[in-house]
Structure 1
Amino acid sequence: MTERRPLIIRLAAPRGFCAGVDRAIQIVEEALQKWGAPVYVRHEIVHNAHVVSRLEAMGAVFVDELDECPEDRPVIFSAHGVPKSVPAEAKSRNMIFVDATCPLVSKVHVEAERHDREGREIILIGHAGHPEVIGTMGQLPPGRIHLIETVEDAEAFQPKDPANVAFVTQTTLSVDDTADIVATLQRRFPGISTPHKEDICYATTNRQEAVKVIGEGTGLVLVIGAESSSNSKRLVEVALRAGADRAELVASADDIDWDWFEGVTLLGLTAGASAPEDLVQDVIAACRARFDVSVQKIETARETVTFKLPRVLTA
């Protein structure tokens, strides 16, 4: 038997589920317990096919729009948040609905509404088409929120009144990229209103900080997460910027191309905020089957945040 070559895995902590994702999944599980199957969920509850499949097996039915839901069954809105028109429609149809929007996304919604009430022109820094961005822009009438995706967009933006502008951000962005956009906006509009507290959520920031540490000098970084997951894609970018020779987004161990490991003695491993821990352990097991693995846990922060479930589930 050939001797297996050594591989050191730098395992990022924190990684994987954040408090908002944990809460959203719990909401679906509790709703199934309270009302029985089926329970309908508008959009993927979180961006992870493994999570969605497990909940489907329990009796959750995932749909794109509310008109696909029968009126006599409960419906849950995903963690990314929804435009105001969605709960309004559910109310008009007398549906039971549970909003699983992450409280940190709801905070951005509240900020945008406050700026609008106070007469400011609002900029949202985010990615077009992302469910969270659609939800945030849908808190106000069309045209009230302007989406900016890049530094170039920030340079080109022309407000009606440059002295009366505010910005909010999507919660799952790259901290470094967003800082460049914010710096551009603050240079152009010195009086711009900023969030009271950083909009990019603690979990996104913490996972990016951990990846900066595990990425430095690493031959390969694997990020476990879905192609549709904004925070997971940002981790790949952060790993490369931190000095990893290569970084790849994989949905699970099945997606690994083992040719990537040629010449690699140091592997960085992390997971996006909607990826379950068993997928991380599967990757470690797949590596152990091929290499002489030693695991180094790199902890850069400790997370103790939890969010309460909606009252409708606990009453």
Structure 2
Amino acid sequence: MTETIQFLPPLTLVLAGPRGFCAGVDRAIQIVERALQKYGAPVYVRHEIVHNKFVVDSLKAKGAVFVEDLAEVPDDAPVIFSAHGVPKAVPAEATRRGLTYLDATCPLVSKVHTEAERHAADGRQIILIGHANHPEVIGTMGQVPEGRMILVEDLAQAETVQPADPENLAFVTQTTLSVDETATIVAVLRRRFPAIQGPRKEDICYATTNRQAAVRAMARRVDAVLVLGAPNSSNSRRLVEVAKGEGCDRAVLVQRAADIDWAQLDGVRRLGITAGASAPEVLVEEVVEAARRRHTVTVEHASVTEETITFKLPRALSA
């Protein structure tokens, strides 16, 4: 009997680097895991610790309970604030109630909070460049008295915003924005308000910058790009925009391999893959294995830099 050999069409996977977890996300997840070890389940987490369903579901299985409001946290349970940061009113309320709480805010988000507080203390009005209703933006705006900070989301708003005192103005930014788009918005603000003060070092975090640079370098070398990440992940959505901005129109966001519409990838011979800063590497591995079931796969790596940054855990968990 003659054995039939199935021909699998060739496909080159180009893996962007860096991709996936950043130091802030890794730290936040460790905080939840260490808290579960120290206090036992359940441990409450205000908002998703990071924007990734796989990560959240994995932590739920270990005993984490995710809530949107401190009112949902029992008086005798520990609570963790997500990596996105929270308004000052949240830890103040936790303290009032005597709750045990841990702050998993990314240190680079905390840096923006500190900048905003400094500008407010110096009497400046602050423009925050960011996306309305994103938890990081809500947290940053909650660091200063109401009315002290104005949100600017896009170029059109940058051209029309009217601060109370243009000579006494500063700006900060959400950490997960498009590098290029933000630079354009900042240029408009500096043109309109020459006295505006900015951060000593840009607020867009190293991980966002590096992942966008990797996609930018990869996008013109591939026929399509898959970005692994959650629909509510700002940095993941920006990666899709960056790929399209570099001319790769077939760039899509998927949460994991099961969500891929392989029919839409017919004719693709070089497929770029990256992952947002809150997406674990296991999801990339899933996609590679799914591709191997359909293609004869060759893997290439397209790395623009190596990341070595780590952040310390809170003192209460570091022992």
Match of 2:64 in 1: 60
Match of 2:14 in 1: 10
Match of 2:156 in 1: 152
1:144-181 per-position Cα deviation (integer Å, ceiling 9, x unaligned):
11000001101101111111110000000000110110
1:93-119 per-position Cα deviation (integer Å, ceiling 9, x unaligned):
001000000000000000000001111
1:313 to 308, 311, 317: 317
Match of 1:131 in 2: 135
Q: Answer yes or no: is 1:187 the counterpart of 2:191.
A: yes
Confirm or deny: 8 A CA contact 1:104 1:201 kept in the other structure: yes
1:31 to 15, 35, 58: 35
Confirm or deny: 8 A CA contact 1:10 1:298 kept in the other structure: yes
Structure 1: distance between partners of 2:181 and 2:249: 20
Match of 1:272 in 2: 276
Structure 2: distance between partners of 1:90 and 1:34: 19
Report the alpha carbon displacement of residue 262 of structure 1 after superposing the two structures with TM. 1.1
**TM norm structure 2:** 0.98
Q: Answer yes or no: is 1:111 the counterpart of 2:115.
A: yes
Structure 1: distance between partners of 2:188 and 2:263: 41
Q: Answer yes or no: is 1:252 the counterpart of 2:240.
A: no
Match of 2:294 in 1: 290
1:34-83 per-position Cα deviation (integer Å, ceiling 9, x unaligned):
11111000000000010011101111000110000001010000000000
Structure 1: distance between partners of 2:187 and 2:249: 29
Confirm or deny: 8 A CA contact 1:217 1:244 kept in the other structure: no
1:276-313 per-position Cα deviation (integer Å, ceiling 9, x unaligned):
00000000000011011101011101100000000121
Structure 2: distance between partners of 1:250 and 1:296: 21
Q: What SS does structure 2 have at the residue aligned with 1:114?
A: helix
Match of 1:233 in 2: 237
Match of 2:177 in 1: 173
Confirm or deny: 8 A CA contact 1:21 1:273 kept in the other structure: yes
Q: Answer yes or no: is 1:97 the counterpart of 2:101.
A: yes
Q: Which amino acid aligns with 2:93?
A: E
Structure 2: distance between partners of 1:26 and 1:157: 40
2:86 to 82, 97, 108: 82
Q: Which amino acid aligns with 2:140?
A: T
1:114-153 per-position Cα deviation (integer Å, ceiling 9, x unaligned):
0011111100000000000000001112111100000110
Point out 4+ residue stretches in structure 1 off by more than 4 angstroms. Answer: none
The count of corresponding residues between Structure 1 and Structure 2 is 315
Q: Answer yes or no: is 1:71 the counterpart of 2:75.
A: yes
Confirm or deny: 8 A CA contact 1:12 1:297 kept in the other structure: yes
Confirm or deny: 8 A CA contact 1:120 1:164 kept in the other structure: yes
Q: Answer yes or no: is 1:261 the counterpart of 2:262.
A: no
1:205-256 per-position Cα deviation (integer Å, ceiling 9, x unaligned):
0000000011114211000000000000000000011121310000000000
Q: Which runs of 5+ in 2 are unaligned?
A: none
Q: What SS does structure 2 have at the residue aligned with 1:298?
A: strand
Give the fraction of aligned pairs with identical amino acids, expressed as a percent. 66
Structure 1: distance between partners of 2:11 and 2:187: 41
1:224 to 219, 224, 228: 228
Match of 2:204 in 1: 200
Match of 1:21 in 2: 25
Q: Which amino acid aligns with 1:310?
A: P
Confirm or deny: 8 A CA contact 1:218 1:245 kept in the other structure: no
Report the alpha carbon displacement of residue 259 of structure 1 after superposing the two structures with TM. 1.1
Structure 2: distance between partners of 1:53 and 1:227: 16
**TM norm structure 1:** 0.99
Confirm or deny: 8 A CA contact 1:217 1:243 kept in the other structure: no
Confirm or deny: 8 A CA contact 1:111 1:168 kept in the other structure: yes
